[in-house]
C-alpha cells in the first residue's frame, strides 16, 4: 500500500468522524432545546457503558495474560 492511498483513506475516515460528531452534536442540541429527557440521558448512558467496557477490557486482559514464575537467583 502506498503512502498517498493511506493518506487519502485516513482523510476520508477523518471526514466521516467529523461529520458524525457534528450531526450528533446537532441532534443533542435540538433535544436539549426541546427539553427532552433522552437528550441528556443517552450521552450519560453511552458514557457509562463505555466506561464499563473499558473496565471489562482491562479485567479480561489481566485474566488472560500469562504469568511467568519469578526468576530464581
C-alpha angle 23-47-21 in degrees, rounded to nearest 5: 15
Alpha carbon distance 29, 21 (integer Å): 12
* Residue range 53-58: mean pLDDT, rounded: 96
How sure is the predictor about 41, in pLDDT bands with cuts at 50, 70 and 90?
Answer: very high
Share above pLDDT 70 across residues of the chain, in percent, rounded to a whole number: 92
Q: In the predicted model, what is the mean pLDDT of the chain?
A: 88
pLDDT in tens, 13-36: 999 999 999 998 999 999 999 998
* Residue range 47-65: mean pLDDT, rounded: 94
Task: Judge whether residue 1 has pLDDT over 80.
Answer: no
Amino acid at each position: 500500500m502506498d503512502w498517498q492511498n493511506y493518506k487519502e483513506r485516513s482523510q476520508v475516515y477523518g471526514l466521516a468522524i467529523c461529520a458524525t460528531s457534528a450531526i450528533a452534536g446537532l441532534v443533542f442540541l435540538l433535544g436539549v432545546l426541546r427539553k427532552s429527557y433522552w437528550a441528556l440521558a443517552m450521552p450519560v448512558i453511552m458514557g457509562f457503558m463505555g466506561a464499563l467496557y473499558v473496565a471489562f477490557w482491562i479485567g479480561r486482559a489481566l485474566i488472560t495474560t500469562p504469568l511467568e514464575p519469578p526468576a530464581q537467583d
